[in-house]
């Protein structure tokens, strides 16, 4: 034994955290590209389907059902794309969470409001949320995603006239709480319950057309990533399903005062000058048609490159800039940096428009100074009103510094 050999078994080499981070970033970049390539063509498909549905009274009667089928198929494909990207992010370690204290009452109430139209169409009763005053530590976007998935399933696989209840159970002195989604549907027998969390397994197709088969798997992964859990409780009777999400409790935080509604709110529906910097002609055409239909008084100018857009801003500053991020030459971030560096345009409302739906890109846009981030496929209904609200300073968006 030499003086340089301490003896004993050799120690394991330290983990290569640098290599792991490089791998995570490579996976994240790959998913961003996939998101962009898959969602871009859907922008045209879903966007024009929405616009045609808005003008249904001008079309032959026979087009109503094909348009409905087109819209439904596009929505299903978009859900599948989002679910596949989420699952890939989770499995590759590219998922990043923004954990923070959240008032559970606010999150639950919002989720119930969002699924209310689905419940109404299905003839299912949504029971009101009983305020509990609890706060949890979670990522706001991902917690909402989990609740929406569970509520959507509870409605989809229910029965006409059935009901769905979202409620909270808080054990005395416990560090965690449970959020339950309880429905009065036919339930799931024990033999099939174990298969529910396997990707692409779709149960209940005998009741309703199933979803992607990924939502419940993703919901469980997200709950675990937030330090909680998601399980299905044994049925209390012969029917119904009781899904429980366990979350970490935190001490209540002082609620921020709601901002006073500014006088600009009165002009939220006013006509405004809009500059859309977009190199894809179909996307530009879609926004042009939507604004012409919804608010003909809006003035829309199109620039195909960032450099052209900057020239247009210099010639006549618009009220709002819609800025595609993936531009030839100067990309959206470079254009924004130029606008923010000029005192005359530093406060010009700028909305990032992108087919990249990954959370990392949204966080980057927020840090860069965009007022909001709109993901393609864009929601065409109410587009003119949302643009006017940004121009008036009444849209939520990102907080400005």
Chosen domain end from 36, 71, 92: 92
Same domain for 63 and 169, yes or no, is no
3-state secondary structure the chain: CCCCCCCCCCCCCCCCHHHHHHHHHHHHHHHHHHHHHHHHHHHHHHHHHHHHHHCHHHCCHHHHHHHHHHHHHHHHHHHHHHHHHHHHHHHHCCCCCCCEEEEHHHHHHHHHHHHHHHHHHHCCEECCCCCCCCEEEECHHHHHHHHHHHHHHHHHCCCCCCEEEEEEECCCCCCEEEEEEEECCCCCCHHHHCCCCCCCCCCCCCCCCCCCCCHHHHHHHHHHHCCCEEEEECCCCCCCEEEEEEEEEECCCCCCCCCCCCHHHHHCCCCCEEEEECCCHHHHHHHHHHHHHHCCCCEEEEECCHHHHHHHHHHCCCCEEEEECCCCCCCHHHHHHHHHHCCCCCCCCEEEEECCCCHHHHHHHHHHCCCEEEECCCCCCCHHHHHHHHHHCCCCCCCCC
Global pTM? Answer: 0.65
Q: Give a yes or no: residue 259 inside a domain.
A: no
Based on the fold, state whether residues 340 and 278 are members of the same structural domain. yes
Range of the domain at 55: 20-92
Residue 52 in domain: yes
Asked if residue 166 is part of any domain, the answer here is yes
Is 200 within the bounds of a domain?
Answer: yes
CATH number, residue 144? 3.30.565.10
- Answer yes or no: do 38 and 76 share one domain: yes
Q: What is the pLDDT of residue 238?
A: 61
Q: Are residues 365 and 286 in the same domain?
A: yes
Same domain membership, residue 111 and residue 231: yes
pLDDT for res 191: 63
114 in the same domain as 74: no
Q: Are residues 36 and 112 in the same domain?
A: no
Of 61, 92, 123, which residue sits at a domain end? Answer: 92
Residue 142 sits in the same domain as residue 223: yes
**Same domain as 243, residue 104:** yes
Q: pLDDT in tens for each of the 401 residues of the chain?
A: 344 444 444 455 555 567 766 766 676 677 777 777 888 888 888 888 888 888 888 889 898 898 888 888 888 788 778 777 777 777 767 677 889 999 999 999 999 988 898 899 889 999 999 999 999 999 988 899 899 999 998 998 898 899 999 999 988 777 899 999 999 988 776 666 665 666 545 544 444 445 555 778 888 989 999 999 998 887 666 678 889 999 999 988 765 444 444 434 445 557 789 999 999 999 999 999 999 998 888 999 999 999 999 999 999 999 999 999 999 999 999 999 999 999 999 999 999 999 887 777 888 999 999 999 998 988 888 899 999 999 888 666 664 44
State whether 106 and 238 are in the same domain: yes
Number of domains present in the structure of the chain: 3
The pLDDT, as a whole number, for residue 333 is: 96
């Amino acid at each position: 034994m030499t003086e340089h050999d301490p003896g004993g078994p050799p120690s394991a080499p330290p983990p290569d955290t640098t290599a792991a981070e490089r791998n995570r970033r490579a996976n994240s970049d790959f998913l961003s590209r996939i998101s962009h390539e898959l969602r871009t063509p859907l922008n045209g498909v879903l966007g024009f389907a929405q616009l045609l549905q808005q003008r249904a009274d001008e079309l032959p009667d026979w087009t109503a059902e094909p348009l409905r089928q087109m819209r439904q198929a596009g929505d299903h494909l978009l859900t599948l794309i989002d679910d596949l990207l989420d699952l890939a992010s989770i499995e590759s370690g590219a998922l990043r969470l923004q954990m923070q204290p959240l008032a559970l009452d606010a999150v639950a109430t919002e989720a119930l409001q969002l699924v209310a139209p689905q419940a109404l169409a299905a003839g299912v009763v949504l029971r009101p949320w009983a305020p509990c005053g609890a706060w949890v530590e979670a990522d706001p976007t991902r917690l909402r995603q989990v609740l929406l998935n569970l509520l959507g399933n509870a409605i989809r696989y229910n029965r006409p006239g059935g009901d769905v209840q979202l409620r909270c159970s808080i054990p005395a002195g416990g560090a965690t709480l449970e959020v339950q989604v309880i429905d009065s549907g036919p339930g799931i027998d024990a033999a099939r319950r174990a298969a529910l969390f396997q990707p692409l397994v779709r149960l209940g197709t005998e009741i309703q057309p199933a979803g992607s088969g990924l939502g419940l798997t993703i919901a469980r992964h997200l709950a675990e990533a937030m330090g909680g859990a998601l399980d299905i409780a044994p049925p209390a009777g012969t029917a119904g399903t009781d899904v429980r999400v366990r979350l970490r409790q935190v001490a209540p935080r002082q609620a921020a005062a709601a901002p006073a509604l500014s006088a600009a709110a009165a002009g939220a529906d006013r006509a405004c000058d809009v500059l859309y910097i977009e190199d894809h002609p179909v996307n530009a055409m879609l926004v042009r048609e939507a604004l012409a239909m919804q608010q003909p008084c809006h003035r829309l100018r199109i620039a195909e490159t960032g450099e052209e857009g900057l020239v247009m801003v210099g010639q006549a500053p618009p009220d709002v800039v819609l800025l595609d991020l993936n531009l030839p030459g100067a990309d959206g971030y470079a254009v924004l940096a130029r606008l923010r560096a000029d005192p005359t345009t530093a406060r010009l409302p700028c909305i990032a428009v992108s087919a990249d739906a990954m959370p990392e890109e949204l966080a980057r846009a927020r840090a860069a100074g965009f007022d909001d981030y709109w993901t393609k496929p864009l929601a065409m209904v109410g587009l003119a009103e949302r643009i006017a609200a940004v121009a008036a300073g009444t849209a939520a968006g990102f907080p400005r510094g």
